[in-house]
Structures are given as structure tokens and as C-alpha cells.
Amino acid sequence: EGPLAQMFQDWYLAQIVVPAAAELGCADDYAYIAPSLARFPSGSRQVQLAQQAGFGQAVHYAIAGGLMGVLVATKVV
């Protein structure tokens, strides 16, 4: 999470990933990534959603400077 990570991710997709895919003839296969990432909930939002869904505990662990993450949620029984 954060503006710097977002800027890097946007740059990397636009300047590296999509052009490389275009060179391989599969740019259309990668066109969904940027819009999908823009809609994907942040780590803190994922925690909120898990709690709203009935999980007792939810923790989001950021990976790679916030470019990725793992949500660990525990259901109360």
C-alpha cells in the first residue's frame, strides 16, 4: 500500500510487463491487470471485509513493499 508502491507498480506494468507481452503477441492477455489492480481492495479494506464476513480475527501482511500481501483470517466457531 502507499503512493510510492502504487507508482512503481503502475510504471512496471506500463513500461515492462505490457510491452514485453506485446512483443510476444499477447498484449490482450495482460490488458486486464491494471484495471483489476485498481479495483482490488487494499490490505486494510480486506481486513474490514473479512471482519464483516464474520471472521473473528483478520490480519493483512504486506509483502514486497506493499505490492502484494497475504490476508490471514480466523473464523470463530
The domain spans of the chain are 1-40, 41-77
Predicted TM-score (pTM) of this structure: 0.75
Task: Give the integer Cα–Cα distance in Å for 16 and 76.
Answer: 43
Please list the pLDDT of the chain residue by residue as tens digits (77 residues).
678 888 998 999 999 999 999 999 998 999 899 899 889 999 999 999 999 999 999 999 999 888 889 999 999 88
Measured at the alpha carbon of residue 63, what is the angle toward residues 59 and 66, in degrees to the nearest 5? Answer: 90
